[in-house]
Amino acid sequence: MGALRAHLGLLGAYMRVNWRSSLEYRTNFIFEILLSMAEVGMYLFYWKIFFTIGSPGATYAQLVTLVAFNHIIYAGADTLMGKHVWDTGDLIVKGQLDTFLVQPKSAIYQIFFSGAQPMNAIQIVVGTAVYFYVVPATPGTIILFIFGFVTGTSIFTAWVVMIHALTFRLGNSVIVYKLLSVILHFAKKPANIFSFAVRFILYTVIPAAYIGTVQAGQVFQPSAPVLLGLAALAVAAPLMAVALFRRGMRLYESGNLIGVRM
């Protein structure tokens, strides 16, 4: 418990520091709200048009719920990691992890969570509003919402760490951007509109189904085995991610010997 409190305290410190930094550009807060609303609105409009053409095997409420979960799960990772969701691969390639390696706390924890951006949590607020716009607020739906948000964020952040761990072996970060883009692209669509082969990939190799589809399905048709499996994956995925990243760090080469930093 002491270690957990220490790590949460460190995360809180990162949040406070980055919050003060963000307040230097307060207009960004307004733009963040507008962009978040525009992004959600775009997908809701897209699915509304899609429903006028033909049903994709789900109700419109289910698709709205999927969009809401997708939005808040990415927002959860974006709040905890900030720009490190995308640019950790570049830090690895350029040999710029040294600062984190000499700190007393877990290097992996600090590499990813030092970029925490509390201002990005506004996306969670927007996604929550969309969710309860179509789902009645009852104790059950609230619990399923929190459960889906926490497990989805855990799974997605773990896969972000795993994908960046590939950078140690590949020597470039291009694959990181492509894999993350693919995951987020497919996560915005219900998995059941794809063929069996594609669905198999979305539930295994590319975890896009766990960033919206599974959570939305459980809101309307909860299943104890599925919920237990989702909880187990949310616990196992971070452990696997840490193990994979630690193995990759054995190949890390510092970039401090050459070059000038601005």
Reported confidence tier of residue 83, pLDDT bands at 50, 70, 90: confident
pLDDT of residue 180: 81
CA–CA separation, 150 and 146 (whole Å): 6
20 within a domain of the structure (yes/no)? no
Check pLDDT > 70 for residue 124.
yes
Could you tell me the CA-to-CA distances from 223 to 121, 136, 216, 226 in Å, in that order?
29, 19, 12, 5
pLDDT of residue 115: 79
Q: Which two tokens stand for residue 175?
A: 């694959």
Reported confidence tier of residue 8, pLDDT bands at 50, 70, 90: low
148 within a domain of the structure (yes/no)? yes
Provide the strand spans (E) within 86-241: none
pLDDT of residue 236: 95
CA–CA separation, 203 and 32 (whole Å): 31
- Name, in order, each residue with C-beta under 8 angstroms of 76's C-beta and a sequence gap of 6 or more: 124, 149, 152, 153, 156, 157
3 within a domain of the structure (yes/no)? no
| Domain boundaries, position 170 | 26-249
Check pLDDT > 80 for residue 256.
no
pLDDT digits (tens, 9 = 90+) for 27-36: 555 666 666 6
6 within a domain of the structure (yes/no)? no
Tell me which of 63-72, 75-84, 182-191 is least confident. 182-191
* Among 18-22, 99-103, 124-128, the range of highest mean pLDDT: 124-128
16 within a domain of the structure (yes/no)? no
47 within a domain of the structure (yes/no)? yes
Cβ–Cβ < 8 Å for 18, 115: yes
pLDDT of residue 259: 45
pLDDT of residue 138: 92
166-187: average pLDDT: 79
DSSP state of 193: G
Work out whether the CA dihedral 98, 180, 241, 171 comes out positive or negative: negative
Query: CB-based burial of residue 205 (10 Å sphere; 0-12 exposed, 13-18 middle, 19+ buried)?
Result: exposed
Domain count for the chain, please give it: 1
Check pLDDT > 90 for residue 86.
no
Rounded to the nearest angstrom, the gap between the alpha carbon of residue 152 and the centroid of all alpha carbons in its chain is: 7
Check pLDDT > 70 for residue 70.
yes
